Structure 1
C-alpha cells in the first residue's frame, strides 16, 4: 500500500510517499481501506514533534478517516467486510489502508460521502463536548467563537445555534466572516493579525465587548489562543465559561485577576481523553451529532480536496491558517 510518511522531524515538505506492507487486522481490529482523510491542526504539530503524542517513526499523519472495512480480526462483532465507517485514528490516516480497533469505529450514514464523513467527528465531537460538558451552554445564552471559520469554529457556530444560543463569530478576514454568516452566526467581527501591544490588546477587548453586548459572552470558545485570549476573556460574562480548545497562535498567559473579577471559569477541552475515559457519553454525543446531521442542522464544510501525494500541501495550508472549513485528502 502507499502511505505519506514522516521519517524525520520537520514540516510538510519532509513527508514522502512510500510503499508499505498491507496491515493485518489483529485481535479486536479491522482493516479499513481509507477513502478520505481530513486534515486538522494536530497534523501540523505531530510531524514537528510538537503534539502531545509522538508516534514512532516512520508514521503517516492523518487522524480522521472514512473508508470501507476490508478485513475483520478475531473477536470483532457487529462489523462486516464492506461496511462504510468513520473513525478518529490519531495518526496513520494518510495511507491506503489502516488497522484500527473496532471499538473506535462509527458507521457512516447512507447517502453521506466519504469526504463529508471524514470531516465530521474530530471537529463536531470536540465541539459538542466543549459546549455542553465544559461550557454548560444553554438556550438564550451568548457564545463567542474565535477562529470561527475553521473546522471547529464552524462546528461551534452550527452547534451553538442548534442549542439555541446567540452566536458571535470572530475571524481574521471578511471572506471568513462570510463563511461564518453562512453557517448561521448572528454577528461577526474581523480582528487584525497579532501580536498585539497593550493598546491593540485593549482595542480588541473593546471590539469583543461591543460584539457580544453589555452582559458579556456566557461562553467563549477559543481554538486560537495567543494574543487573542486575554481580550476575549475580558469580554466574558459574570460566571461565564472560557473554553481552551487550541493554540495555533501560541499558548497564552491569562491574568488570573480577571477570573476573580468576573467570577468565571477557564475550562480545558481535551476531547480525546474524554472519549477514552467516558466512551458511553461520547457515543451519546456522536449519536446526537448524527441526528443533527440528518436534520440538516449541522453540515461539515469540505472546501478543498487533495490527492494523497499532495497531502503535505494540505497540511501546509492548515499550518498557514488559510483553511476555511475542512480540507480532505482523497485516497
Structure 2
C-alpha cells in the first residue's frame, strides 16, 4: 500500500509517499481501507517532534480516519469486513490502509459521508471536552472563541450554540469571520483590525466573557484574559501561534477566574467512558443539525505536504481531509 512516511523530524515538505507492506489484522486490531483522513494542527507539530506525543521514527502521521473494515483480528467482536467505521488512532492515518485497535473504532451513523466522519473526532471531541466538561458552559452565558475559524474554533462555536450560549468569534480576517457567522457566531471581532480588549468590552457591555476558548496562544491571550468576567474560565486548548503566553497570575486572582487546561488525547485515555458519552452527544447533535463540520478542502495522498503547509500557514478554515485513494 501507499503511505505518507516521516523518516526524520522536519517540516511537511520532508514527507514522502512510499510503498510499505500492507498491515495484518493482529489480535484486538482491525485493518481499514482508509476513505478519508482528517488533517489537524497537531499533525504539523508531530512531524517536527514538537508535540506532547512523539512516535518512533519512521511513522505515518494522521490519526482521524473514516473507512471500511478490510479484516479483523481473530478475537475482535462487533466489527466485520465491510463495516463503515470512524477510527481515532495514535498515527498511521495518511495511508491507503490503517491498522487500528478495535477499541478505537465507532460505527459510522447511517447516512454519514466519509469526509464528515473523518472530521468529527479530534476537533469536536476536543471542543466538547473543553466547553462542556472543563468549562461547564451554561445556557445564557457568553463565550469568546479565539482563532474561531479553525477546526476546533468552529466546533466550539457550534457546541456553544447547541448549549444555548452567546458566542463571540475572533479571527484574523473578514473572510474567516463570515464562516464563523455561518456556523452560528452572534458577534465577530477581527483582531487584525480592531483593538481586542475594546471590542470585547463593547460586545459584552463591559462584563467580559464567562468562558474564553483559546487554541492560539501568542499575543492575544493576555488582552483576552484581562477582559474575562468574574468567575470566568479560560480554556488553554493549544498554541497554534507557536508562542506559549505567560499570563500574569494576579489577573486570575483579581477576577476570581480559572485557567483550565484542555488535553483531549489524555482525557480519552484516562476517562474513556466520559469521552464516549461526549462523542455520543456530538453524534446526536450532528443528527439534529446542530453541528456540521465545515470541510474547506480535499487533497490527494501525494498532496499531504501541501495540506500540512496550508494548516501551518493558518490558511485553513474548518477542516481539510486527505483522500488516499483519489
TM over 0.5: yes
* 1:184 positional shift: 0.6
CA distance in 1, matches of 2:49, 2:279: 29
Say which SS state the counterpart of residue 253 (structure 1) adopts.
Answer: coil
* 1:159 positional shift: 0.6
Counterpart position of 1:221: 213
User: Contact conserved, 1:208 with 1:231, CA < 8 A, in 2?
Assistant: no
Counterpart position of 1:243: 235
Counterpart position of 1:180: 180
Counterpart position of 2:125: 125
CA distance in 1, matches of 2:198, 2:91: 40
Counterpart position of 1:196: none
* 1:14 positional shift: 0.2
Aligned partner of 1:206 among 194, 198, 205: 198
CA distances 1:162-213 after superposition (whole Å, capped 9, x unpaired):
00000000010000010000001000000129xxxxxx9xx43222222233
CA distances 1:285-318 after superposition (whole Å, capped 9, x unpaired):
1111111000000001111000000011000000
Say which SS state the counterpart of residue 68 (structure 1) adopts.
Answer: strand
TM-score (norm 2): 0.97
Say which SS state the counterpart of residue 139 (structure 1) adopts.
Answer: coil
CA distance in 2, matches of 1:279, 1:9: 31
User: Contact conserved, 2:3 with 2:20, CA < 8 A, in 1?
Assistant: yes
User: Contact conserved, 1:126 with 1:271, CA < 8 A, in 2?
Assistant: yes
Q: Does 1:286 align with 2:279?
A: yes
CA distances 1:38-72 after superposition (whole Å, capped 9, x unpaired):
10001100111101111111111111110011000
Counterpart position of 2:36: 36
Say which SS state the counterpart of residue 210 (structure 2) adopts.
Answer: strand
Contiguous gaps of at least 5 residues in structure 2: none
* 1:31 positional shift: 0.6
Q: Deviation above 3 Å: which 4+ runs of structure 1?
A: none
Counterpart position of 2:224: 232
User: Contact conserved, 1:168 with 1:212, CA < 8 A, in 2?
Assistant: no
Contiguous gaps of at least 5 residues in structure 1: 194-199
CA distance in 1, matches of 2:316, 2:200: 23
Counterpart position of 1:146: 146
Task: State how many pairs are aligned.
Answer: 323
Measured on the aligned residues, the alpha-carbon RMSD in Å equals 1.1
